[in-house]
Amino acid sequence: MIEKKSFCSTWKLLAITFLIISTTISIVYQSINVEYLAVRLFHNFLTLKYRIISDIDRPTLSSNYRAFEEILKWKPFAEVDHQVDPVEIIQELRSSFTMVNLVPKPSKCRIEQNFVSFDRHQVEIFSINYQQKISFEPPERILIYLHGGAYALGDIQSYAGLECHLSRLFNLTVLHLEYRLSPEHPLTSAVEDSIVLYRSLLEQNYSSSQILFMGDSAGGGLALLTIQSIIAQGFDVPRAVVVLSPWTDLSASGESYQRNSQTDVLLCMKKFHWLVNRVLSTNIVEFSPSNPLYSPLFGSFEKFPSMFVNFGTAEVLEDDSRRIIEKAQNENIDVTFEEGKDLMHVYPIFFPYYPEAQRTLKNIQNWIQKLFSS
């Protein structure tokens, strides 16, 4: 009888201990997402490992970053079966393309679905406000965020965590646009949707000087394509644009596509060519990757607003950024850029894991503040 009581007491103690530990972990990381918490704990373990193991070739990288890099390397690129309908492949990729378990939505963030229209064209958007955001007297600042995913993947579920963080950090309202994706729709449909959102805001008496565009990867390319279209149509340009590792050259003509093919832990060259040739060109009879309708690098940057461009020197899209920076500067555009030495594609979006991402987002925050105060 005594042994049975002792056994039960031990299990109760273990249960209470587990409850305390799990509750503490949830409080520390502000989430009850079990998979996310598991990733964070594993990341902490790997960080300790890399504090001991140095990287002679990349001494500037934090142990936190190298730990996260290892986590990504454990998930190899899926092979693409060229015999399968690309629509089926994309639908399968969409189900696995999510950042929910890496950057989850915080509980204090408020997200509201809405539909806006202009000229009989309706688009779906999500208004994102972090609960602790300091309210502004009019005019309010609006950031239109265009998500990445090679124009074929991505949605509010994947990007809510990042966009909530941006709302808090930049102290503004973020509008997430669910633009039409390929291969169901041509790439130009995404530009049309983005223009509709922008024009609808102007129609609601928002000033163009209150609006910023921001995007990562394909979303960065889309932001640039949108502003090029805005200028071409003679509309007032937004206050500024921020792009993280923008995909600006669908023809992959930059040297970094080969130079960094072995160091890029997020992007695969085989998938790049497949996406361009089989997905993005599906609904376009004469598709040319170097056409400025699809690749903003080959368009004009004349009359552009202030730009902030960020990229990593270990990614295949490095030259996509460097070349638009050079082109914009040659056209006397105000360009601020930040390169992440030895860092991956869109590294700032994984801000919970390493200081390199946090510093870059903080620098963007300071840049935006100076922009609005000037």
Domain for residue 79, yes or no?
A: no
- The catalytic residue among 69, 176, 345, 356 is 345
57 and 149 part of one domain = no
With CA atoms as reference, report the closest residue to 368 among 327, 309, 308, 315.
Answer: 308
Domain contains 81: no
Final residue belonging to a domain, choices 31, 47, 73: 73
Range of the domain at 14: 2-73
> Can you give the pLDDT at residue 22?
45
156, 198: one domain? yes
Active-site residue, from 69, 163, 315, 356: 315
Q: Which residues pair with 117 in a beta bridge?
A: 122
What is the pLDDT at residue 294? 94
Whether 80 shows a pLDDT value over 90: the answer reads: no
Q: In what order do the strands lie in the sheet with 306-312?
A: 109-118, 121-130, 173-177, 142-146, 211-216, 240-244, 306-312, 335-340
Give tens-digit pLDDT for 114-157: 999 998 899 999 999 996 555 554 458 999 999 999 999 999 99
Average pLDDT of the segment spanning 13-30? 47
Q: Please write the tens of the pLDDT for every residue from 105-118.
A: 998 899 999 999 99
Residue with tokens 């039409």: 180
Residue 80 belongs to some domain of the structure: no
Does residue 96 share a domain with residue 41?
Answer: no
Within 10 angstroms of residue 137's Cβ, the number of other Cβ atoms is: 5
Last residue of a domain, one of 19, 51, 73: 73
Nearest to 265 by CA among 6, 88, 58: 58
35 & 179 share domain: no
**113 and 11 within one domain:** no
**Spatial separation of the C-alpha atoms in residues 224 and 299, rounded to whole Å:** 9
pLDDT at position 5 over 90? no
Residue 301: which CATH number?
Answer: 3.40.50.1820
Q: Check whether residue 295 and residue 326 sit in a common domain.
A: yes
Span 314-331, pLDDT tens digits: 999 999 999 999 999 999
Structural domain total, the chain = 2
Which residue of the set 158, 194, 217, 256 is catalytic?
217
Whether 345 is a known active-site residue: answer yes
Task: Name the percent of the chain lying above pLDDT 70.
Answer: 87
| Res. 365: pLDDT tops 70 | yes
Annotation marks residue 185 as catalytic = no
* 7 and 126 inside one domain: no
288 is catalytic: no
Q: pLDDT at residue 17 above 50?
A: no
Which of 73, 100, 126 is where one domain is finished?
73
* Spatial CB neighbours of 335, under 8 Å, sequence gap ≥ 6: 306, 307, 308, 309, 325, 328, 329
Claim to verify: residue 133 and residue 276 sit in the same structural domain: yes
Render pLDDT for 190-234 as a digit per residue (tens, 0 to 9). Answer: 999 999 999 999 999 999 999 999 999 999 999 999 999 999 999
Burial (CB < 10 A; 0-12, 13-18, 19+), residue 339, is middle
- Measure the CA–CA gap between 307 and 367, rounded to whole angstroms: 10
Paired tokens of 236 = 């007032």
